[in-house]
Amino acid sequence: MKKEVVIGLEIHIQLMTKAKMFCHCSTDYIGKEPNTNTCPVCLGLPGSLPVLNKKVLEFAIRTAVALNCEINQVSKFHRKNYFYPDLPKAYQISQYDVPLGIKGYMEISLPESKEKHRIGITRVHTEEDAGKLVHKGDIASSSYSLVDYNRCGIPLAEIVTEPDFRSPEEARIFLVKLRSIVQHLGVCDGNMEEGSMRCDANVSLRDAKSSTLGTKVEIKNMNSFKAVKKALQFEVDRQKKLLAEGIEIIQETRHWDESKSVTISMRSKEEAHDYRYFPEPDLLPLKVDLKMADEIRRNLPELPEARRERFIKNYQIPEYDAEILTSSKALGDFYEKSTSLYSNSKVLSNWIMGELIRYLNENKIEIEDSPISPEKLVGMLKLIDEGIVSGKMAKGIFEKMFKTGKDASKIVKESGITQITDKNELFEVMDRVIKENPRSVEDFNEGKEKALHYLVGQVMRYTKGRAKPDFVFDTIKQRIKKI
């Protein structure tokens, strides 16, 4: 029988507050000397008490309302108990039966259908992050591990979706949009590689007509959108194969091994009762002033969807372009900055979506760190407009700009790769090409247009691409007639 894929996601985002969730330690821990960014509270030393950072609440509410959640007026903090060396208190302060936000949704557009697909958001809650273990060598054969508590107590929002995805690609599309939303909200930088956005994916199969869910497997450790999709696809295939052989799926947690592109069983899935949840006695129930929630809702910044529509309207670019350009906050900002400097918004979009994104991806550089700024990109486009370089030459210049960070005009000056503007120089080359290719000239005279393209190509070759193709195209015809 045909199987249907069912996927639900659990996403953790690090909230970009200045201080940690329950103490005054900074959240700026990356690159710091291990265990220097801590205090008695986040180390869980006896006698220390947590105090909730109000900004954490604000950021979490912002996230929840942007995902159309209802805000619980009173929610609770719970202790989630587990023993692992990255957790000095041996419990994590989290939320359990009454989370901050519930019953939300987010809409995604799927390429194959015009209709929007609504994904239910089960809950949004806040919790503190744990520390990090650093394993000596490979995790499986590691002889010892070190622990760094700098990340302990960093505020997180956990977003749990309903099992509403029907393919790995849908899950990927959702994640891209969610990342852009939290970036636009200013609550998280969405960097999956650095772990400020993490995703656990749950997947099961069921008979296409069934209304009950199959046994799910949870996958962890994917650090890119592509990895999430790949891991889910691997898991779908693995489960299909097992079911076809009549083997039952066991509920478990599996680890995605990026280098081998496989999921590996980590442990049987723990149940809620394994965590011995109980209300956090050191914190009062969390009362949210609904006025504050309303205020936050009213003052939400422009979100990716609205921005995309504005891009289509204001800059007259296709929906496809607008979708890509708003897929991250920084990319949208780059584009808008560029449009303030240059009026042909479609040309800008082409260069950004084409060359720029390609080079950034190839070099694993984030747009924020792009060696080509909007000013530099526009500087190059102006050289094309002025006829100083051709579009083709600009591609080479773009590459040099990317590698060196130099301005286009400087690159042109240093290398002398301008277009040939001296007509006599071009006439000379054309005449030479005509003389060297009598067959093609004859073909052209017999009405074969193709021959002309060949001759133009030869001129471009002789001039190393520095001739203006349209000019050569028009002129070489006249020169043939003259000869």
Q: Could you tell me which stretch among 197-205, 364-372, 424-432, 464-472 binds ligand ADP (CB under 6 A)?
A: 197-205
Sort strands 217-222 and 252-257 into parallel, antiparallel or unpaired.
parallel
The smaller minimum CB distance to ligand ADP, of residues 61 and 203, is found at: 203
Could you say which of 11, 25, 187, 378 contacts Zn ion (CB under 5 A)?
A: 25
Task: Name which of ligand ADP, Zn ion, none residue 39 binds, using a CB cut-off of 5 to 8 Å depending on partner kind.
Answer: Zn ion
Task: Name which of ligand ADP, Zn ion, none residue 317 binds, using a CB cut-off of 5 to 8 Å depending on partner kind.
Answer: none
The smaller minimum CB distance to ligand ADP, of residues 212 and 361, is found at: 212
Q: Could you tell me which stretch among 4-12, 148-156, 180-188, 334-342 binds ligand ADP (CB under 6 A)?
A: 4-12
Q: Is 7 in the site for ligand ADP (CB under 6 A)?
A: yes
Task: Name which of Zn ion, ligand ADP, none residue 10 binds, using a CB cut-off of 5 to 8 Å depending on partner kind.
Answer: ligand ADP
Please tell me the distance from the alpha carbon of residue 96 to that of residue 291, in angstroms, as a whole number. Answer: 24
Q: Which of residues 4-23 bind Zn ion (CB under 5 A)?
A: 23
Q: Which residues of 248-266 are buried (b: 16+ CB within 10 A; e: fewer)?
A: ebeebbbbbeeeeeebeee
Which phi and psi angles does 187 have, rounded to 5°? -100, -20
Q: Is 246 left (phi over 0), alpha (psi -120 to 50) or beta?
A: left
| Residues that contact ligand ADP, how many (by CB under 6 A) | 16
The smaller minimum CB distance to ligand ADP, of residues 6 and 348, is found at: 6
Could you say which of 63, 196, 204, 253 contacts ligand ADP (CB under 6 A)?
A: 204
Nearest approach in angstroms of CB 165 to ligand ADP is: 8
Could you say which of 131, 153, 163, 379 contacts ligand ADP (CB under 6 A)?
A: 163
Cβ–Cβ under 8 Å, residues 13 and 182? yes
Q: Which of residues 339-378 bind Zn ion (CB under 5 A)?
A: none
Task: Name which of Zn ion, ligand ADP, none residue 161 binds, using a CB cut-off of 5 to 8 Å depending on partner kind.
Answer: ligand ADP
Could you say which of 19, 39, 266, 303 contacts Zn ion (CB under 5 A)?
A: 39
Q: Is 154 in the site for Zn ion (CB under 5 A)?
A: no
Q: Is 42 in the site for Zn ion (CB under 5 A)?
A: yes
Q: Is 162 in the site for ligand ADP (CB under 6 A)?
A: yes
Q: Where are the alpha helices (DSSP H) in 209-289?
A: 225-244
Residue nearest ligand ADP, CB atom distance: 8
Three-class DSSP labels, 176-210:
HHHHHHHHHHCCCCCCCCCCCEEEEEEEEEEECCC
Q: What is the distance of C-alpha 330 from the center of its chain?
A: 10
Nearest approach in angstroms of CB 417 to ligand ADP is: 55
Q: Is 100 in the site for Zn ion (CB under 5 A)?
A: no
Q: Could you tell me which stretch among 7-15, 82-90, 187-195, 330-338 binds ligand ADP (CB under 6 A)?
A: 7-15
Angle between helices 168-185 and 329-339 (to 10 degrees): 60
Q: Is 56 in the site for Zn ion (CB under 5 A)?
A: no
Please tell me the distance from the alpha carbon of residue 121 to that of residue 167, in angstroms, as a whole number. Answer: 17
The smaller minimum CB distance to ligand ADP, of residues 253 and 370, is found at: 253
Q: Which residues of 27-53 are buried (b: 16+ CB within 10 A; e: fewer)?
A: bebeeeeeeebbeebbbbeeeeebebb
The smaller minimum CB distance to Zn ion, of residues 42 and 67, is found at: 42
- Of 43, 282, 75, 62, the closest CA to residue 153 belongs to 43
Q: Could you tell me which stretch among 36-44, 45-53, 211-219, 340-348 binds ligand ADP (CB under 6 A)?
A: 211-219
Task: Name which of Zn ion, ligand ADP, none residue 177 binds, using a CB cut-off of 5 to 8 Å depending on partner kind.
Answer: none
Q: Is 161 in the site for ligand ADP (CB under 6 A)?
A: yes
- Of 173, 201, 158, 198, the closest CA to residue 7 belongs to 201
Report residue 369 as tokens: 């760190």
Nearest approach in angstroms of CB 151 to Zn ion is: 11
Q: How many residues does the chain have?
A: 483
- Of 106, 220, 223, the closest CA to residue 170 belongs to 106
Q: Is 412 in the site for ligand ADP (CB under 6 A)?
A: no
Report residue 76 as tokens: 């609770």
Amino acid present at 99: P
Nearest approach in angstroms of CB 310 to Zn ion is: 41
Cβ–Cβ under 8 Å, residues 455 and 449? no
The smaller minimum CB distance to ligand ADP, of residues 155 and 214, is found at: 214
Q: Which of residues 413-472 bind ligand ADP (CB under 6 A)?
A: none
The smaller minimum CB distance to ligand ADP, of residues 273 and 298, is found at: 273
| Residues that contact Zn ion, how many (by CB under 5 A) | 5
Please tell me the distance from the alpha carbon of residue 326 to that of residue 329, in angstroms, as a whole number. Answer: 6
The smaller minimum CB distance to ligand ADP, of residues 27 and 161, is found at: 161
Please tell me the distance from the alpha carbon of residue 128 to that of residue 283, in angstroms, as a whole number. Answer: 14
Please tell me the distance from the alpha carbon of residue 323 to that of residue 90, in angstroms, as a whole number. Answer: 44
Report residue 31 as tokens: 């690159």
Cβ–Cβ under 8 Å, residues 156 and 127? yes
> Partners of 94 in the beta sheet?
78
Amino acid present at 80: K
Give the binding site for Zn ion (CB under 5 A). Answer: 23, 25, 39, 41-42
Give the binding site for ligand ADP (CB under 6 A). Answer: 6-10, 160-163, 202-204, 213-214, 216, 272
